């Protein structure tokens, strides 16, 4: 748990990661708010906020009397959303750092290719 983002956002992102990685399959049940709270050692209200964030985004939905489930198509939607943010969150800082260190485009491409094969 780092200090930067609000905890409920971190919880939400962790659930998103699990959905994207397949650990939480679509139409599968998700642990209860209390279970998240106990596992991460945080206040249930905070865990609830994180879960609700995903419900509002249509990633999770509630089946009354049973629990929370991953919505159909959630994985695809999450991946698409992440792709859109990839440019800002990863490429932007990478290019800025490269510029700081004087790494030009050609060198970057070389590094990329090397990295892929490594």
Partner 1 sequence: MNAVVEVTGLSKRFKDVVALDDVSLSLHENTIHGLLGRNGAGKTTLMQLLTGQDFPPHGTVRVFGQHPVENAAVLRRICFIKESQKYPENFTAGHVLRSASWFYEGWDQGFADQLVREFRLPLKREIKKLSRGQLSAVGVIVGLAARAPLTFFDEPYLGLDAVARQLFYDRLLEDYAEHPRTVVLSTHLIDEVANLLERVILIDQGRILIDDEAENARRAATTVAGRADAVDAFAAGREVLHRSGLGGLSAVTVRGQLSDQDRAAADAAGLDLSPVSLQDLVVRTTSGTDRKEVA
Locate 11 and state its tokens.
């919880």
Q: Which of 15, 37, 59, 60 touches partner 1 (CB under 8 A)?
A: 37
Residue 13 beta carbon to partner 1: minimum distance, rounded to whole angstroms: 15
Residue 99 beta carbon to partner 1: minimum distance, rounded to whole angstroms: 13
Q: Which of 17, 22, 25, 43 touches partner 1 (CB under 8 A)?
A: 43
Residue where the block lists tokens 């629990």:
67
Cα(59)–Cα(19) distance, integer angstroms: 9
* Residue 44 makes contact with partner 1 by CB under 8 A: yes
* Residue 88 makes contact with partner 1 by CB under 8 A: no
CB 100 within 8 A of CB 92: no
Instruction: Residue count of the chain, please give it.
Output: 118
């Amino acid at each position: 748990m780092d200090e930067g983002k609000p905890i409920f956002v971190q919880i939400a992102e962790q659930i998103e990661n699990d959905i994207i990685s397949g650990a939480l399959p679509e139409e599968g049940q998700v642990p209860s708010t209390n279970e998240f709270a106990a596992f991460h050692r945080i206040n249930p209200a905070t865990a609830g906020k994180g879960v609700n964030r995903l419900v509002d985004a249509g990633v999770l939905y509630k089946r009354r009397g049973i629990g929370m489930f991953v919505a159909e198509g959630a994985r695809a939607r999450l991946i698409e959303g992440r792709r859109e943010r990839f440019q800002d969150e990863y490429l932007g800082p990478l290019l800025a750092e490269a510029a700081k260190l004087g790494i030009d485009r050609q060198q970057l491409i070389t590094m990329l290719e090397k990295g892929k094969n490594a």
